Amino acid sequence: MSRDELSDLLEEQQSLHAELKARGGKLDITRGKPSPRQLDLSRELLSITVPVHAADGQDVRNYGGAKGLPEIRAIFADLLGVDVDHILAADNSSLSIMHDLLSYAMLHRIHGATEPWGRQEIKFIAPVPGYDRHFAICEHLGIEMVPVEMGEHGPDMDEVEALAADPSVKGMWVVPMYANPDGVIYDEETARRLVSMPAAPDFRIWWDNAYALHHLTDAQPRPLPILQMAQQAGHPDRVFEFASTSKITFAGDGVAFLASSTGNLDWYLSHAGIRSIGPDKVNQLRHATYLKDAEGVRALMRRHRELLAPKFAIVEKILGNRLGGTGVARWTHPSGGYFVTLDVLDGTASRVVALAKEAGIALTPAGASHPLHRDPHDRTIRLAPSFPSEGELAAAMDGVATCVLVAAAEKLLG
């Protein structure tokens, strides 16, 4: 494009942007929240009758049962492909379990550690782009994060292996399926290298399988048997695996899970048992009664897909129509999960988010997908299509495309 053509484009897009501002709309595609229609799928949970006793005879209304009810653990053991003895059911947030494990490791000695992590300078490997709430835990605890660029099947493993060889590197964040935000699926070879690579004896991977069942297409890979792989590689304690019902039933009102080696689970419980007398077993039994079994969960996830897939198609279509072939943006085409990652012209992501804000469209802040909110290229924007209605989403995506073009033309015109 010549400068004149660019100027024309800028003018045209600026006028579209001005229209948006004038319209004074209010659209929000910041967070991966289920929509009300998705939540309605599990409406039965709001009134289902919960039995007094669990299958093992315990009264779910009383204290105790730190490891959670066998029946809800069995469902997720099946779904994740782990042994039921290696999974525990907790309260309403897997993020809390992730936080607590890190917090316990800071204050106490995780096995393999010579002293609590809080008394050392430690580092975490942070594949980028990644999940802002993972990074926030490390930032909050003052743990340095070393970013590693994501590739097609996971992060650059040569770099990860080189970093893990440093004994001060103690942890790594992983979203192995439909990664937040780029939708990447870790392949078996990446996983094998992760569990096999030499690392500090107290090195752990936070394997957050938040989207393991959240398919958008018929290609529905099974979760990798990461605990067995770690065991076979001679590092049985390397992985903490997480899941929850937050994007299956209700968000923040469900059941979260931790799967790991017996040693790791015992270590977690030795601390969690000081913190609390046990999880909310009534809610665990409510969920087990409602979901019934692994197939019950899979059937529910098919209904989520029916609601979500058309929204991802809208994003794809509008970005394609408005930005395809321009060379100023590329985006992911996820086959599952909750996000589309939009990479815009280097140096313009913050400007796009600011322009969108002026136009009444709330986007996740630029940089959110990077440690300390620092995207060195200022190019990555996370789009969350799940919550708005299809009409709102289409309007928002059209607006975003306009902002991308305005910012790009501004930048290219210098």
Q: Using the rule CB under 8 A, is 246 a contact of a second copy?
A: yes
Q: Which of 86, 90, 52, 84 is nearest to 71 (CA)?
A: 84
- Residue 134 CB, nearest approach to a second copy (Å): 11
- Residue 12 CB, nearest approach to a second copy (Å): 38
> Binding mask 262-281 vs a second copy (x if CB under 8 A, - otherwise)?
---------x--xxxxxxxx
In the chain, the amino acid numbered 331 is W
Q: Which is nearer to a second copy, 37 or 317 (CB)?
A: 37
Q: Which of 211, 202, 244, 212 is nearest to 95 (CA)?
A: 244
Q: Using the rule CB under 8 A, is 48 a contact of a second copy?
A: yes
- Residue 250 CB, nearest approach to a second copy (Å): 4
How far apart, in Å, are the Cα atoms of 96 and each of 11, 120, 322?
A: 48, 23, 40
- Residue 335 CB, nearest approach to a second copy (Å): 24
Interacting positions 134-173 with a second copy (CB under 8 A): 136-137, 140-141
| The binder of a second copy chosen from 1, 11, 15, 46 (CB under 8 A) | 46
* 92/89 Cα distance (integer angstroms): 9
Interacting positions 24-43 with a second copy (CB under 8 A): 31, 33-34, 36, 39, 42-43
* 30/28 Cα distance (integer angstroms): 6
**Token reading at 327:** 């060379």
Pairing of strands 87-89, 204-208: unpaired
Do 414 and 32 meet the contact criterion of CB atoms below 8 Å apart? Answer: no
Residue range at the interface with a second copy (CB under 8 A); choices 8-16, 47-55, 148-156, 342-350: 47-55
> Binding mask 76-115 vs a second copy (x if CB under 8 A, - otherwise)?
---------------xxx-xx--xx--x--xxx-------
Q: Which of 108, 63, 69, 96 is nearest to 267 (CA)?
A: 108
* 341, β-bridge pairs: 382
The overall longest dimension of the chain from CA atoms, in Å, is 77
- Residue 254 CB, nearest approach to a second copy (Å): 8
| Cβ-based neighbour number of residue 392 at 10 Å | 17
How far apart, in Å, are the Cα atoms of 15 and each of 20, 402, 406?
A: 9, 10, 10
Using CB under 8 A as the binding criterion, the count of chain residues that bind a second copy stands at: 54
Q: Using the rule CB under 8 A, is 52 a contact of a second copy?
A: yes
Pairing of strands 144-149, 123-128: parallel
Q: Using the rule CB under 8 A, is 47 a contact of a second copy?
A: yes
- Residue 195 CB, nearest approach to a second copy (Å): 27
Residues that bind a second copy (CB under 8 A): 31, 33-34, 36, 39, 42-43, 45-52, 59-64, 91-93, 95-96, 99-100, 103, 106-108, 118, 133, 136-137, 140-141, 246, 250-253, 271, 274-283
